[in-house]
Amino acid sequence: MKTARSGLRGRIRLPRRLRVTTEGKGFVLLTLGVGVAAINTGNNLLYIALSMNLSLIVLSGILSEWCIRGVTVRVTPASEAFASRESLLAVTCSASGKRFPAMSLTVGLSFGEAVLTARFPEIPAGGRATRVISFTPGRRGALPLLSCVVSTRFPFALFEKSMDAPAQTSILVYPEPSGTGEDGASRAANGGATAAGRQGSAIRGVREHMPADAVRDIHWKASARMGKWMVKERENEAAPVSDVRLPVPCPPGELEPLISRACAFVLRCEKEGRSYRLWVGDRLGVDATAGGGRQRALSLLALVGCDGAMPGNGGQA
């Protein structure tokens, strides 16, 4: 019976939900008291007081609707997300197309078990505001945004009105890096660690900025021209390639530490500018010898399964 009821409630989802706050409960109780007094005494001025309270409740509904209607939410990662490490999310709340400002908004994001909250005191009509919030994902993999709820207590804090905002966002959580990166590499290193890349003086070109890039590598003119951060791509010295292999299929308990070490290895390689190749079983997952393989490698490590299957890549790496 309970399941049926919750199922029905899930299907019939109202566009707005209301929760009575503590102050609201007091207000409602006071209103009921005034109502009882008015009915008992028949005093019309008490009926006015009762009507005033009810009108404030109605006004609260109208103003909160004006406040919340038309608000859109966009959630984007503000940094790379690693399991068990603090990451950043950018929550942008937009009131474009509104004539009434959005006041006292709270955006609640539910990523699985993690529930995040971003507060927006005021978004002017037609404007937008961004809040960067931190969160710590529990495990690697794709983390879909289960729900995005926009709520407000504006104007009187008597009720909290909330609505579901469409925000189709999925965050890819990379594995938690563990170790220094050397021992992970030792599993299948081929050539050892040789300092290379980004150390040369000749500039091959410019490319888009990646989170691990140093500030000194920013190409300011190109950044100004392109309107986004661009960094210098330097000529690499010839360097040996490091291989890291993930032995799949593998029991889950054993695979995760390996993935964590591989992740640390990839990050170290990227930091030091070393070339590397990532093997999943006997298949080449990522060949980063030409550079620019960081995101692909980390994505592969985030999504790879115990049997080597990788969602969105034909089932196999």
Query: Which residue ranges make up the site for another protein (CB under 8 A)?
Result: 23, 26, 30, 34, 37, 39-52, 54-56, 58-59, 62-63, 65-67, 69-70, 96-101, 103-104, 119, 121-122, 124, 126-128, 153-158
In terms of CB distance, is 56 or 241 closer to another protein? 56
- Min dist CB 113 to another protein, Å, is 23
**Rounded CA separation 167/279 (Å):** 35
Residues shown for the chain: 317
- Min dist CB 54 to another protein, Å, is 5
Contacts of residue 208, Cβ cutoff 8 Å, sequence gap at least 6: 228, 229, 230, 231
Helix or strand or coil: residue 115? strand
- Min dist CB 74 to another protein, Å, is 12
- Min dist CB 241 to another protein, Å, is 48
Contacts of residue 196, Cβ cutoff 8 Å, sequence gap at least 6: 236, 237, 238, 239, 272, 273, 274, 275
Helix or strand or coil: residue 4? helix
Helix or strand or coil: residue 191? coil
Contacts of residue 217, Cβ cutoff 8 Å, sequence gap at least 6: 198, 231, 232, 234
In terms of CB distance, is 109 or 266 closer to another protein? 109
Contacts of residue 271, Cβ cutoff 8 Å, sequence gap at least 6: 212
Contact 100, 154 (CB under 8 A): no
In terms of CB distance, is 93 or 264 closer to another protein? 93
In terms of CB distance, is 97 or 205 closer to another protein? 97
Contact 278, 269 (CB under 8 A): no
Query: Quick count: other Cβ atoms within 10 Å of Cβ 190?
Result: 13
- Min dist CB 148 to another protein, Å, is 17
- Min dist CB 76 to another protein, Å, is 18
**Rounded CA separation 197/273 (Å):** 5
In terms of CB distance, is 5 or 13 closer to another protein? 13
In terms of CB distance, is 31 or 260 closer to another protein? 31
Cis peptide bond N-terminal to 124, omega within 30? no
- Min dist CB 73 to another protein, Å, is 14
Contact 299, 312 (CB under 8 A): no
In terms of CB distance, is 122 or 182 closer to another protein? 122
Question: Angle 38-42-43 (CA atoms, 0-180°, nearest 5)?
Answer: 75
- Min dist CB 29 to another protein, Å, is 10
In terms of CB distance, is 23 or 235 closer to another protein? 23
- Min dist CB 155 to another protein, Å, is 5
**Rounded CA separation 54/32 (Å):** 10
In terms of CB distance, is 103 or 300 closer to another protein? 103
